[in-house]
Amino acid sequence: MDFLRPASWEEALAAKAEHPTAVPIAGGTDVMVEINFDHRRPEALLDLNRIGELREWEVGEETVRLGACVPYTRIIESLRAELPGLALAAHTVGSPQIRNRGSVGGNLGAASPAGDSHPALLAAGAEVEAVSVRGTRMIPVEEFYTGVKRNCLEADELIRAVHIRKADGPQQFSKVGTRNAMVIAVCAFGVALHPETRTVRTGIGSAAPTPIRATAAEEFLNSALEEAGLWDSGQIIPPAVARQFAELVSGAANPIDDVRGSAAYRRHALGVMARRTLGWTWEEFRGNERSARCA
């Protein structure tokens, strides 16, 4: 095995081009588990820890450019206002030790359907900045996942950053597991209200071969909110609408039975999480609207 230790981003890209089978390692929270258990014996490891810019982020006008290796701990501490859904999801990752090392870039690289950041990225809207010596591609996150633990990166590409839309409304994240720490999601759900475009976006985790959006549920809710004029009136969402939304979220999933839970349980739990998180975000939206009017 080779251990490649590029000191700069340019060196990393050159190394990946020269060793396309090299496995990038940042926090090691996935890669080292596979090596420790002999599930994987890559020809080379490509250590990204020495590249400081990967641990930085920039808050722009519309998006946050989040360096691929920014640890979850930093997201929780520093980006709660801009990326509330992702910060909530980050807080459910593993333990403090894991959050000190793990990153969204690693979550995307591993592309496990159970990765905690995926539902938040899907709901907020995000693009993956994939770079190689050939150039840069911006990949919408919903097109990034191609199968169980598979993504659309080419062999010479590395994830430089994720560009995540800054929240323009309330966001929520919910995850089912056996306890509050050290849990791989049985299933997870993220929702983001986007009052500027009067749309709602969703993300489902651990309940299909890849993380997915519940598009039919989004479309149904978008027109229901529009038709009833709820974005303007700030009235509560009628229970029948919330129920239908929850059923459509359930229906969007394509889960399996496994040690963590049955397919039927996952579908049921997703419906419950969808209804609850929609309620929480809508209440927050109404609260903001009221105080804005008072001011």
Partner 1 sequence: MRLTFTVNGRKQEADDVWEGESLLYVLRERMGLPGSKNACEQGECGSCTVRLDGVPVCACLVAAGQAQDREVVTVEGLADFAKQRDEGGSASGTSLDEAKRWQSKPGETGTAAQRLAPIQRAFIDAGAVQCGFCTPGLLVAADELLERNASPSDEDIREALSGNLCRCTGYEKILDAVRLAAARSEEAV
Cα–Cα distance measured from residue 29 to residue 25, given in angstroms and rounded to the nearest whole number: 9
Task: For partner 1, give the closer residue by CB, 70 or 217.
Answer: 70
CA neighbours closer than 13 Å in the CB half-sphere of residue 226? 12
CB of 219 to partner 1, least distance (A): 39
3 state SS of 188: strand
C-beta of 92 vs 202, nearer to partner 1: 92
Q: Which of 25, 153, 164, 214 touches partner 1 by CB under 8 A? A: 25
Would you tell me how many other CB atoms lie within 10 Å of the CB of residue 259? 6
288 scored as a contact of partner 1 (CB under 8 A):
no
190 binds partner 1 (CB under 8 A): no
Residues 104-133, mask of contacts with partner 1 (x by CB under 8 A): ------------------------------
| Cα–Cα distance measured from residue 89 to residue 164, given in angstroms and rounded to the nearest whole number | 14
Contact yes or no for 113/86 (Cβ under 8 A): no
CB of 8 to partner 1, least distance (A): 16
Where in 147-186 is the site for partner 1 (CB under 8 A)?
Answer: 180-182
The two structure tokens encoding residue 102: 């793990």
Residues within window 47-76 making contact with partner 1, judged by CB under 8 A:
47, 49
Interaction between residue 7 and partner 1 (CB under 8 A): no
DSSP classification of residue 274? H
Q: By C-beta, is 44 or 153 nearer to partner 1?
A: 44
Distance of CA 176 to the CA centre of its chain: 16
Spatial CA neighbour of 144 closest among 212, 195, 224: 212
Could you tell me the maximum CA-CA distance found in the chain, to the nearest angstrom?
Answer: 64
Nearer to partner 1, 41 or 293 (CB): 41
Contact residues for partner 1, defined by CB under 8 A: 1-3, 5, 25, 27-29, 31-33, 35-37, 41-42, 44-45, 47, 49, 94-98, 100-101, 180-182
